[in-house]
A and B are shown apart, each in its own frame.
Chain A
């Protein structure tokens, strides 16, 4: 009983990290058909946002609220990654819709640029850049529409960008001087320390449940619920699904497909940021943190069936449970007197590296029989 509970919990814990990381990709790759290799780097930005938020909450004025910084970090990370994702969509990916190979290469390039960016640019400037982009994106919606029309419009827009650049520079300067550590570039990995209530574990029924893992499971659960609600119940969610199913028909019916693309990509990227918060609770935060998750993310989405959220959920939990089952050698504890040759085979695969190999091999075999994943998309395919 203990064994099953522990195995189940570990599986769900590993799976929920995969799931939260793959959720954004399930939207970007699954719904839009965009192969975004910079997804991992959007996660990395989320992880760095957590780090920056943590440092800001260490300032004397915010110290009393330190315990709650993770919740703020979730919002900050979502916004930061979404803004960068939207910039990426507007500047690069939009021009490459329909050419997957070029998208793949371009986004890989972007991922390298982002990695080097956090290595060589002080985080305060990065934060300032995101801040000015955010203000720049939002200001056209806040200004009265009248101002933006006609010949004056250009000037107003230029002025609003100049204003947002100023906000960014001030923000960067302020942040850099308030928290000196953010004012210097550093290629060093940084550390996100969970507040004290999030450390340690709960012992229940002979099994230890580490609290950060529980927090990640909760974050994942909320993210999945939220995104399901958004896609199925909200107006924009329905528009997204409509564009996914038939772009030209949706266009004819008056849906602004371009806005839908921006929104979808923004949400997908924002979820990557949320995943970054989750990942930062487990390990260290560094330029390469995203790269180690990206392959796993694609595997989950493909296994689950492209374009299907339920598939993504089931795929990540099954990969999680399998990893634990094989990697921790559980089969031996479940069936202690199995025949020796079988036992030695199980023992051989009972290391983390071999478990990874075996899980990937099993997925490859599975995809031979079900090339479209667990839940193949029925009907019209997403246009490539």
Chain B
């Protein structure tokens, strides 16, 4: 018997053994017993590839929201109650696939709404599809704005609901107040746009940006950036971090070894690090640095605690909830409210009904604005050694979203309003 045959035998027996033990669990959707009819919605996130790590948490949360709605009696439309069913499609971390699957969901499955996307690149790829078919996409991630589509509904933060209050906090009230800024990001659209805004804002505040650097996606060699930071900020300062995914791990591990730590006067403010990322990177590397979000797991309200507890009960005690998930959770409920208000699943009626809808979200009250974004509360948190945020500052109430940035010269003085046919996507204030 040749070696390979023997190998094959060995392999199959192990795989068999493994698959027998692996067979357990699986999703159990709680149905709606008294519902009269069904409605099927689309969920479109990456379940494979680089983004799967982040996006699968959104699928989990959206399923949870749908199950909750079903358990509470489904959606009431025209005297009938509808149970929500969903079709999950995999965008595979590949932007054209997102567009393709969107077409499939709209044309073939005829879903009234799609919840989906994470990266700006995936949204930009899907946008033409939804606009040409006049369908509706709900997009849950904080992003760089400078976009306002009639066919997309954005439940994540715009820069003025995340990075701008964060920059102001770092410059005025953080332990490094008044010190110079250094900007670090991954080399793609979100960090570059976000940093353009930050540079304009720091200038307007009277501070200085002494350097910026971008790491090519997939590269984790941060040694040259570290030497530049040490040269540019010899006595401490603020580092604004828009690195992506696992590049953060390399960055935080290595700056700590190089002596760039809060105790030496260096404070990092990150825009892409939430509870989920803290547990991946390790709180021991992050303690003392800052983050800014609308929702933080440590928010001490009943709604927030219930959200975290329900998620843990459903998916396991070691799981955490974070801002993008809260955003995904909200959008399912907002869609439900809009459909019930409109009394139909028809796109245009739902779109009109959506504006002005209020919802008691885990973060507090949110409201849909005429520019298809949400008003949200902004919170600044210091990362603690147990992997949570200690909220050091939060806005008094929800902040209104600005789809067009007011620090960026090309969009200054513009706004978006879809409730008024004369205003639309971009009009001068």
Task: Name A's B-contacting residues (CB within 8 A).
Answer: 6, 10, 13-14, 17, 87, 90-91, 116, 119, 121-122, 125, 128-129, 132-133, 136, 154, 157-158, 161-162, 164-165, 168-169, 172-173, 176, 187-191, 193, 199-201, 203, 208, 210-213, 281-284, 286, 288-289, 291-292, 323-324, 327-329, 333, 350-353, 355-356
Q: Is the interface of A mostly helix, strand, loop or mixed?
A: helix
Report the minimum CB–CB distance from A334 to chain B (whole Å). Answer: 13
* Ranked 6 nearest A-B pairs via Cβ: A327-B224, A210-B257, A284-B249, A283-B250, A165-B13, A169-B17
B258 x A353 contact (CB < 8 A): no
Cα–Cα distance between A157 and B221 once the two chains are bound (Å): 47
In whole angstroms, how far apart are the Cα atoms of A364 and B227 in the complex?
A: 27
Residues of B within 8 A of A (CB): 1, 3-4, 6-7, 9-11, 13-15, 17-18, 21-22, 48, 50, 52-53, 56, 187, 212-216, 218-225, 227-228, 230-231, 245-247, 249-250, 253-254, 256-259, 280-282, 284
By beta carbon, the residue of chain A nearest B19 is A125
Per a CB cutoff under 8 Å, which of B214, B253, B259 touches A352? B214
Q: How far apart are the CA atoms of A329 and B256 in the complex, in Å? A: 22
Q: Which residue of B lies closest to A213 (CB)?
A: B257
Cβ contact within 8 Å between A351 and B1: no
Residues of A within 8 A of B18 (CB): 121, 125, 128-129, 169, 172
Across-interface contacts of B215 in A (CB, < 8 A): 352-353
| B1 partner, pick from A10, A157, A162, A200, beta carbons under 8 A | A157
What is the minimal beta-carbon distance from B177 to any residue of chain A, in angstroms?
26
- Chain A positions within 8 Å of B48 at CB level: 116, 119
* Contact between chains at A210 and B216 (CB < 8 Å): no
Residue ID in chain A nearest B251 by CB atoms:
A283
Assess whether B7 is in contact with A91, with CB atoms less than 8 Å apart.
yes
Query: Would you call A199 and B7 a contact (CB within 8 A)?
Result: no
Residue of A nearest to B225 (CB): A352
Q: How far is the CA of A284 from the CA of B53 in the complex (A)?
A: 13
Give Cα A211–Cα B10 distance, bound, in whole angstroms: 42
Query: A132 vs B249: C-alpha distance in the bound complex, in angstroms?
Result: 33
Checking A133, A154, A172 against B17 with a beta-carbon cut-off of 8 angstroms, the contacting residue is A172
Is A188 a contact partner of B6 (Cβ separation < 8 A)?
A: no
Q: How far is the CB of A157 from chain B (nearest CB, A)?
A: 6
A353: chain B residues at CB < 8 Å are 187, 214-216
Which of the residues B1, B10, B21, B219 comes within 8 Å of A164, measured between beta carbons?
B10
Smallest beta-carbon distance B52→chain A, Å: 5
* Residue of B with least CB distance to A333: B231
A213 and B4 alpha carbons, distance in the complex (Å): 41
Is B53's CB under 8 angstroms from A351's CB?
A: no
Q: Are B259 and A165 in contact (CB under 8 A)?
A: no
